């Protein structure tokens, strides 16, 4: 069963299948070094999600968040600190788009004072602060501020998702948060030769891609 009406032959279902195929292809190429084929596979997977959202009349901020994420994927698929910073900025702006989008449909900050959302919000904030404290011990001076700003945006994205009280959005936001947490640990904390790096990178991509697909389906339900 395809997520959108019209069956396998529907253009948006075809685009989603190609996106999934590109995501799997990227997984298969992980660990083989940087290449433009890897960059194309990674970027294509999220770019197609943005195109589907646009074609099916999704919110402009959803389209923007997915498109900026695709740009971030392109930067992060390349080597070097400059590419990393560019990717960080792209995802930061993507999170801002998601924050504004979720806030526009949420119940406001007051809803986070109710159980169990209060416990979830406190858990997210506490875990993020604990992880940030560890990561900051391992990053260079010029990266400390960008990492802190990005972490704040990521937490705020999670909190605004909680405030929507929509299970799909909350699930997607938490997958995104966990993916970025693993990525930060793998990049800054885990030893270079650690055997845990390959499975960590796999987990990062699977959770991240699943989060983006979840965001798409939360705003463009099956059968539309």
Q: How far is CA 163 from CA 54, 101, 103, 130, 153, in A?
A: 25, 12, 8, 23, 15
Question: What pLDDT digit, counting tens, does each position of 187-212 carry?
Answer: 999 998 899 999 999 999 999 999 99
- pLDDT at residue number 7: 67
- pLDDT at residue number 9: 63
- pLDDT at residue number 169: 95
Taken in order 218, 46, 101, 53, is the CA torsion positive or negative?
A: negative
Q: pTM for the complete prediction? A: 0.92
CB proximity list for 193: less than 8 A, separation 6 or greater? none
- pLDDT at residue number 26: 95
As averages over each run of 10 residues, the pLDDT of the chain (224 residues) reads 68 92 94 86 96 94 98 91 89 97 89 90 96 93 89 96 94 97 94 92 97 95 56
Distance CA 31, CA 202 (A): 10
- pLDDT at residue number 82: 87
Burial of 57 (0-12, 13-18, 19+ CB in 10 A): exposed
- pLDDT at residue number 115: 84
Chain-centre distance for alpha carbon 4: 22
Q: How far is CA 219 from CA 47, 69, 160, in A?
A: 17, 17, 15
- The Cα angle at residue 202 between residues 200 and 205, in degrees rounded to 5: 110
Q: How far is CA 180 from CA 36, 105, 106, 175, in A?
A: 23, 24, 23, 9
- pLDDT at residue number 6: 66
Question: What pLDDT digit, counting tens, does each position of 121-141 carry?
Answer: 999 999 999 999 999 999 888
């Amino acid at each position: 069963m395809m997520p959108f009406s019209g069956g396998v032959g529907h253009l948006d279902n075809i685009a989603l299948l190609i996106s999934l195929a590109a995501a799997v292809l990227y997984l298969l190429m992980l660990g083989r070094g940087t290449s433009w084929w890897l960059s194309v596979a990674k970027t294509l997977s999220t770019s197609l999600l943005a195109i589907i959202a646009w074609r099916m009349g999704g919110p402009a901020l959803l389209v923007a968040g997915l498109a900026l994420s695709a740009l971030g994927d392109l930067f992060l698929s390349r080597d070097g600190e400059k590419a990393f910073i560019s990717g960080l900025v792209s995802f930061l702006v993507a999170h801002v788009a998601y924050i504004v989008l979720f806030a526009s449909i949420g119940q406001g900050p007051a809803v986070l004072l109710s159980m169990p959302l209060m416990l979830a919000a406190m858990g997210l904030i506490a875990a993020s602060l604990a992880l940030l404290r560890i990561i900051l011990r391992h990053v260079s001076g010029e990266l400390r501020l960008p990492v802190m700003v990005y972490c704040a945006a990521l937490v705020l994205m999670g909190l605004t998702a909680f405030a929507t009280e929509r299970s799909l959005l909350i699930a997607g936001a938490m997958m995104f948060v966990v993916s970025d947490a693993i990525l930060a640990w793998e990049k800054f904390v885990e030893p270079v030769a650690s055997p845990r790096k390959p499975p960590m990178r796999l987990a990062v991509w699977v959770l991240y891609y699943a989060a983006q697909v979840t965001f798409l389906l939360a705003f463009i339900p099956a059968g539309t």
